[in-house]
Amino acid sequence: MKPIRHRFDSMKYGPAWQAKPCSWTGIESVRTLFPWLILFGILVSSNTAIASDSGGQASGVPLAAGNGFVSAESGFLADLEAWKNRRRESLLQEAGWLTLVGLYWFQEGENRFGSDPGGELVLGIKDVPPLLATFQRKGNQVSVEVPAGLHVTHGGEVVGRLPLRADADGNPTLLEYGTISFYVIRRGQRVGLRVKDRKSPVYLGFRGVDSFPPSLEWRIEGRLIPAPGGTTVAVPNVLGQVNQEVSPGKVLFQYKGMEYGLIPLQSDPKEDLFFVFGDTTNGRETYGGGRFLVARPPAPDGTVVLDFNRATNPPCVFTPYATCPLPPKENRLNLRVEAGERMYGPPHEGGKVESMPSSGVLATPP
Digit-coded pLDDT (tens) for 305-325? 999 999 999 999 999 999 999
Q: What is the mean pLDDT of residues 18-25?
A: 32
CA-based nearest residue to 106, from 222, 35, 185: 185
Could you tell me if residue 87 is inside a domain?
no
Q: Are residues 227 and 327 in the same domain?
A: yes
Q: Note the pTM of the prediction, 2 decimals.
A: 0.74
Instruction: Give yes or no for residue 360 having a pLDDT over 50.
Output: no
Does residue 217 lie in a domain region? yes
Statement to judge: residues 149 and 197 lie in one domain: yes
pLDDT in tens, 151-203: 999 999 999 999 999 999 999 999 999 999 999 999 999 999 999 999 999 99
The Cα–Cα gap between 116 and 96 comes to 27
Note every long-range contact of 200-203, with CB atoms under 8 Å and residues 24 or more positions apart, other chains counting: 200/98, 200/99, 200/100, 200/101, 200/365, 202/98, 202/99, 202/318, 202/319, 203/92, 203/94, 203/96, 203/98, 203/99
pLDDT digits (tens, 9 = 90+) for 113-126: 999 999 999 998 88
Backbone φ and ψ for 244, nearest 5 degrees, come out as -90, 115
CB 206 within 8 Å of CB 98: yes
**Does residue 150 carry a pLDDT above 60?**
yes
Residue 50 covered by a domain: no
Q: Indicate which CATH number applies to the domain containing 161.
A: 2.60.200.20
Task: Share the mean pLDDT of the chain.
Answer: 80
**C-alpha closest to that of 180 among 199, 161, 202:** 199
pLDDT, residue 346, reads 53
Residue type, 65: A
Does 361 map to a domain? no
Q: CB of 265 within 8 A of CB of 245? A: yes
Task: Indicate the residue among 204, 225, 257 that finishes a domain.
Answer: 204
**Within-domain flag for 292:** yes
Last residue of a domain, one of 157, 180, 204: 204
pLDDT at 23 over 70: no
| Together in a domain, 159 and 271 | no
Is the same domain home to 146 and 224?
A: no
Query: Is the residue at 144 inside a domain?
Result: yes
Judge if 219 and 334 occupy the same domain: yes
In a domain? residue 23: no
Q: Note whether 291 and 314 are within 8 A (CB).
A: yes
Residue at a domain's end among 169, 204, 239: 204
Residues 316-340, mean pLDDT to the nearest whole number: 96
- 104 and 184 fall within a common domain: yes
Count up the domains in the chain and report the number: 2
192 with 216, same domain: the answer is no
pLDDT digits (tens, 9 = 90+) for 204-246: 999 999 999 998 899 999 999 999 999 999 999 999 999 999 9
Same domain, 219 and 183: no
Together in a domain, 169 and 220? no
Residues 223, 333 share a domain: yes
Of 78 and 107, the one with more pLDDT: 107
Q: How many residues does the chain have?
A: 366
Asked whether residue 269 falls in the same domain as residue 307, the answer is yes
Domain assignment present for 332: yes
Domain that holds residue 277: 209-344
Whether residues 215 and 332 fall in one domain:
yes
